[in-house]
Chain A
Amino acid sequence: MTATPRAEVATPLPRPTGRLERFARRQGWVVGVAVLLGVLILWRSSQIPAFGAFEVRGIVAGTMTLALLAMAQTVIVISGGIDLSVGAMMVLTNCIAARLMLEQDLGPVVLVALLVVVVAMVLSGIIGAVAVVSGVPDIVVTLAASFILAGLALIVLDGPGGGTNLRFQELLVGGFDQPLPAALWLAGIFLLVWVPFKRSRLGIATYAVGSDRAAAFLSGLNVGRTRIAAYVMGGLFSGLAGLVTTAFTGSGEPRASIGATATLTSVAAVVLGGVNLMGGSGTLLGPVLAAFCLALIAPLMLGLGWDPNYAEVARGVIIIVVVMVGGLLQIPRRAR
C-alpha cells in the first residue's frame, strides 16, 4: 500500500454568510411576529373610534401576566426543558401576595412582593433540581409540581379573597388611563434582566445546554447547574406574573383552572414567538410579542361583532398558520 497521494487542490473555505442573511436567519422570526402584532394593533385601533391611553393601558396591563409567563417558559425551553407549572406558580404567588398584602401600607406590601418573588425562585429552583437530579423528564416533574402548587394555593387561600394596596396597584399596572407603568416594567425587566443575562456566560451556557447537552458537557459546562439556573430564572418571571395578577385584579384567586390555561397559553406564545421547543434557540422578545398577538384576538373578534367564544378557535388557527408559514419559509435554507 502506497502513501495517500497528496491533493493538489485545496478544499475551498465555506462561503461566509452576508450581514443581511445572518440578520434574517437570527432575527427574522421576531421581525415577522412584530409585523403581525403591528397589523393586529392597527386593525384593533381602526375598530374603536377613540383609540387612546385607556385602550392601550387595557391591552398592556391585561397582557402583562401572559407576557411574563411567556418569558418564564422561554428561558426554560431554551435550556432544553419545559415547565408545565408556570401557571400554577403564578396562581400560588398571587394567593400568597393577596393574603399577606391585605390592608397593609405600601412599605410592607413592597417587602411582601420581594418575598413572594424569592419564594417563586426557590420553589422553581427546587422543581428544576428534582428534574435534574432524578433524571425524570422535565415534563413529568413539572406536571406533578403544577398539582402540588395548585394545592398549596388552595391552602393559602381557600377561595377568592385577600387584597392589596391601591398605591401598589397603580405603581405596577397604572391607573385606568396610564399605559406607561406596565409598559415600563416590561421594558425594564427585558433590559435589566434579559439583556445582561443573554450576554453573560450563564446565558450562553443556557443556550448551549438546550442545544446539545452532550457537547455542552464536553465543553466543560456544569449542565445540571445551568438547567437549574434556568428554572430559577423562570421562577423569577412567574413570581412577577403572580404579583402583576394581584395588582391587576386587586385580589387572590386560587382556582386551578386559571393556572392550567395560563401554562398552555405560555407554551403557545413560546411556539408562536419562534422558540424551538427542543431548546437551544430563540429570543425572549419573540414570545413577548406573541403573547400580545394572542391577547388581541378576543377583543378583535368582539370588534368584528363575532362571537368571542370562537376566540380560542381563532388562536389555535393562527398558531398553526404562523408556524406553518414560518416552517415553509425556512425550507430552502435547510436544503442548502
Chain B
Amino acid sequence: MTAKRVVRYGSLGYLAVILVAPVGLIFWRAFEHGWHPFWAAISNPDAVHALKLTLEITLVAVPLNTIFGILCGLAIVRHRIPGMGFVNAVVDLPMALSPVVVGLALYLLYARDGWFGGWLFRHHHQILFAYPGMLLATMFVSLPFVVREVVPVLREIGTEQEEAAATLGSSALTTFRRITLPAIRWAVAYGVVLTTARALGEFGAVAVVSGNIAGRTQTLPLYVQASYENSGSQTGAYAGAVLLAALAILTLVAMTMVRPRQEAHGDRST
C-alpha cells in the first residue's frame, strides 16, 4: 500500500517539480499582465519573423530527415551493405555531440576558408549567417530520431510479410507502399514528432551558424534568448517561450490524435 503511494506521489511530485513548474511559470509570466502585452510582444515584427523562420526551417528539415530516416532504417535492417554497422553508429552522433560543437563544425566547413566554403563563396552561395546554414544545423541535430524509431520496428516485423507480397506478384515499390510503410507508420509518426520537437527548439548549433541577426537570421529560440538578455521587455521572452511551448504541445496533440486508431485494430501486437 505505502509502496504504491510512494511510487504514485513520488513520480507525480517529480513531474511537477521538474516539468510542470518551469513550463507553468513561463505561461504565468507571459500572461501576468493580461492578454494585451502578450499580443503586443508576439506581434512585434522581429518575433513574427522569428516564428516564420523557425517554421520554414522545421517544415523543410522534418520531411527531409523523415525520408532519409526511413531509407537509412531500411538500409541498416534489410540490406547487408558493407559499412552499414558504421552508418548505424554514426547516426547516433548528433545525440551525443553538443549542438555547439555541431555549429562550430559547420562553421569551419562553410566559412570562407573552410573545405566547402571557398568554392561556395566563389559561386555566390551564402551558407553561413543565412537560411541554408541554419537548415543544415537543424537537420544535423534532428537526424537520428526517425532512424532510431524505425529500426527496431523493422527488425520486429521481419521480412516474411514482404516476401509474401513478393510471391503474390507485388513489385518492390508496391510492397514498400502497401506493406512495409503501413507496418512502420506509428514508428515513423513518433519519429516525426520527435524530429519536429527537436527542430523547433534547436538553439546551440543554430546560434553558432546563424549570426543571430534580429529580423533576419533569428529563430524563435534565439529570439527568446535575445529578448531575455538584451531588451527590457522580458514579456517578449516569455511570449516567445509560450509560443514555442504551444508549438511543442500542438505536435504532441497531433500525435495522440492519430494514435488511438491503431489499438482498435490491435495490429501492434506482433
Q: Do A and B come from one complex?
A: no
